[in-house]
Structure 1
Amino acid sequence: MDLTNPLIYGVPAFIAFILLEITYSHTHGDEDLYVWKDLMASGAMGIGSAILGPLVKVTVLIVVFNFTFELFNPVDAVTGQRMNIMGYKTFGYEWYIFLLCQLADDFTYYWFHRANHEIRVLWAAHIVHHSSDHFNLGTAIRNGWFTLLYKPFFYMWMPAIGFPVEVVIFALAIESFWQFQLHSKYVPKMGWIEKIFNTHTMHQVHHSQNVEYLDKNHGGFLNFFDKIFGTWKELDDDIDVKFGVIHAPESYNPLVILTHEYKDIWNDMKKSPKLWHKFMYVFGPPGWSHDGSTMTVKQQQRLFKKQKAENPEVAFSRPN
């Protein structure tokens, strides 16, 4: 079984679940859940990812992972076994190695995902996934193509410490399938499961543009790391959630959706002649500006907190 592109094997299931959700929404008075132009845009980007995925993953992911594994886990000339350069035997394929690798994957996914929200040039690739103002399984396949180029480098440490490449790729596959199914608003809160796992209501928070929800719940299938590193937020039933991003592209054109933030970065870089300002417009947090004309998420949330302290009735705010 070729695990280099697990989404290929999931495509029939993804399509079936999307059709099922469309049918359910129309038979339960929720016809606005899907907008056809929006779904077609998401589908086009999902198809692009499925086509580009094997090419990028074979040339980048597999090559990078195998090179890293071989470099840090050479075969011992005496025993003939692979030994990590830190002095222990390279991991095998025992069941507990799969579990440890999945935990390592979730830790890596958390920081990869968080970096996509906090470093603007990475956000330019990831904003594609958040650009729809609809939360449904169609949005789950609305993935930016450029993330494929740098995602493997976040995971290099895993084969470096001795996880077999196949096991790492299997963990990535599990991560992909879990992330897909999270994009449904029809799954309610699930009691004790919410204490451990990243669930559908938590992912609604992640896709919200409500100020208090911005940059929350970055986890893969666990919410453990969000809680440790202070980015976890529970869905408040009293808050009217608004999905999408504050500055969304006003287009269903896939090329515009894929590239609009890069264009915005370029235009922002031209606002100041200082190299430090240009650097920050590329590598600083989204919303950073040298003149205060726009705000980062943290600045927005501080302002929102201040506004709410002055007026407790404030439930939703979107500063410029």
Structure 2
Amino acid sequence: MQEQVITFATPVFIVLILLEMIISARRGQSTYFFSDTINSMGLGVISQVTSAFFKLLLIGIYAWVSAHFSLFKLPNAWWVWVGGLLLYDFLYYWLHRCGHEMAILWAAHVVHHQSERYNLTTALRQTSSGPLLAWIFYLPMAIIGVPVEIFVVIGLIDLLYQFWVHTELIGKLGWYDRVFVSPSNHRVHHATNDIYLDKNYGGILILWDRLFGTFIEEMDEHKVVYGTRKPLRSWNPITANIEVYQAVIKDAVLASSWIDKLRFWIKHPGWQPADVAQKNPHAPFELHHPNFEPQLSPRLKWYCAAQFLFIFLITTHFLAAHASISTISSVLYAAWLIGGLVVVGGLTELKPHYLGIEAARLLFTAGFVMFSGQWFGEYPLSEPLKIGIVAVAMLSLVCLFALRDQIKTSDSNQLSTN
């Protein structure tokens, strides 16, 4: 159900993103940067692809706990929906708060905060590993007896609500800011400024933050600086998803105490005991630093945008078809999609070796379709569709060859200031 709703909501997301782009451009605001936009949306695509495999974890465990341990059998009534939404939002607050205060949860959630821009595509920038532990926080709903179908729908409501608050175009909203999560108080949540750090965790209601002392208002004298305290400096979606896991593991290996090796995962992100701090000191945080924004030529932008759009559209087919094809075909299909987005990320970083990887990807796609006549084992492709896919891959290869002189790396084009 979630996949269907997200699929139907996607055109609305795209229209709103385009509208925000137009308005911000007319206002002269640097709200969007091409590579950031493409790769934030790419991380959203990967999140949906991986959720196709993980979705049963949260829903399946919830249903099992509800069937065996629920204290009540709540009806499908309006008050259960309203109460369930309030409870879900309350539990989401604690999941979100722990996601910033415990390294093991921050390792998953960090993906959403890595962008140094703040726009509607930031809302789509989601983790792939979050579902592995998120289900724990919602078990109280199963024990109380909130039906699984209600749980799924209100979870979607809470998620979809949070899309529109990721914008700089909407200012303060008066009384609304004091009750609900709004663009103003969610901008604060994405800030790296000391004064704003670890604040405003609410999903729909900001009242939870007011109640538990984590609310702060956006202040004109403290302009929000977005991103993370340790900038990612990469457009690789795999790197984005594993960077904190890698950092914690590295520190844990260096720790001399077994207790400290375990504490790394439950302590605040960035925590280090004295021995590890000496062996692997963290770089000092700088609030104002050049953004990671390699400058792409217009032609390279068009190529990356076209490849992303192709992968984006095919992902909708994957989400609809993965349940009806074999597990191995589904995994290979997912790997092809994710691999394509990794390559797009590499090209937007201006890394020359990704030209060869992209050429291999295109040749594999054309060869696989031409000789198997299938699309990852689902069913035989019609002749026009087969010819179309091969033609797109070969045309892309020709364009890629023409772009080979556009991929150049130097220190001067890796960073830009705002």
Tell me the TM-score range normalised by the shorter chain: 0.7 to 0.9
Pairing 1:68–2:51 present: no
Show the 5 A alignment for 1:76-155. 84=71, 89-155=72-138
Distance (whole Å) between structure 2 residues aligned to residue 4 and residue 251 of structure 1:
28
Distance (whole Å) between structure 1 residues aligned to residue 236 and residue 7 of structure 2:
24
Q: What SS does structure 2 have at the residue aligned with 1:183?
A: coil
Q: What SS does structure 2 have at the residue aligned with 1:101?
A: helix
Change (3 A) 1:209 1:5: farther
Gaps of 5+ in 2: 278-286, 290-418
Q: What SS does structure 2 have at the residue aligned with 1:181?
A: coil
Q: Kindly state the Cα deviation for residue 185 of structure 1 after the two structures are TM-superposed.
A: 1.1
Distance (whole Å) between structure 1 residues aligned to residue 288 and residue 210 of structure 2:
24
Alignment-derived partner of residue 54 in structure 1: 52
Alignment-derived partner of residue 223 in structure 1: 206
Alignment-derived partner of residue 8 in structure 2: 9
Contact 1:272 1:278 in 2 (8 A): yes
Alignment-derived partner of residue 174 in structure 1: 157
Number of equivalenced pairs: 280
Residue of structure 1 aligned with 2:219, choices 211, 236, 251: 236
Contact 1:5 1:54 in 2 (8 A): no
More helix by share: 2
Report Cα offsets for 1:91-150 as digits up to 9, x if no partner.
Answer: 112112111001001110000000110110111111111001101011111111000222
Report the TM-score when normalising by structure 1. 0.83
Distance (whole Å) between structure 2 residues aligned to residue 292 and residue 223 of structure 1:
40
Residue of structure 2 aligned with 1:287, choices 266, 270, 283: 270
Change (3 A) 1:293 1:3: closer
Show the 5 A alignment for 1:150-161. 150-161=133-144
Q: Which has the higher contact order (CA 8 A, sep 6+)?
A: 1
Distance (whole Å) between structure 2 residues aligned to residue 202 and residue 287 of structure 1:
25
**Letter paired with 1:176:** L
Pairing 1:214–2:197 present: yes
The alignment yields a C-alpha RMSD, in angstroms, of 1.9
Distance (whole Å) between structure 2 residues aligned to residue 36 and residue 157 of structure 1:
42
Distance (whole Å) between structure 1 residues aligned to residue 3 and residue 85 of structure 2:
16
Q: What SS does structure 1 have at the residue aligned with 2:260?
A: helix
Q: What SS does structure 1 have at the residue aligned with 2:225?
A: coil
Distance (whole Å) between structure 1 residues aligned to residue 51 and residue 209 of structure 2:
28
Change (3 A) 1:207 1:48: same
State the identity %: 32
Contact 2:107 2:242 in 1 (8 A): yes
Distance (whole Å) between structure 1 residues aligned to residue 7 and residue 264 of structure 2:
36
Q: Kindly state the Cα deviation for residue 271 of structure 1 after the two structures are TM-superposed.
A: 2.6
Change (3 A) 1:3 1:179: same
Residue of structure 1 aligned with 2:35, choices 34, 37, 56: 37
Q: What SS does structure 1 have at the residue aligned with 2:106?
A: helix
Contact 1:203 1:217 in 2 (8 A): yes
Distance (whole Å) between structure 1 residues aligned to residue 182 and residue 163 of structure 2:
11
Report Cα offsets for 1:247-302 as digits up to 9, x if no partner.
Answer: 011111111111111111122113321112212222211121102987xxxxxxxx
Q: Kindly state the Cα deviation for residue 3 of structure 1 after the two structures are TM-superposed.
A: 4.2
Gaps of 5+ in 1: 74-83, 295-315
Distance (whole Å) between structure 2 residues aligned to residue 11 and residue 94 of structure 1:
29
Contact 1:217 1:232 in 2 (8 A): yes
Alignment-derived partner of residue 229 in structure 2: 246
Change (3 A) 1:156 1:35: same
Contact 1:206 1:218 in 2 (8 A): yes
**Letter paired with 2:27:** H
Q: Kindly state the Cα deviation for residue 245 of structure 1 after the two structures are TM-superposed.
A: 0.7
Q: Kindly state the Cα deviation for residue 55 of structure 1 after the two structures are TM-superposed.
A: 2.7
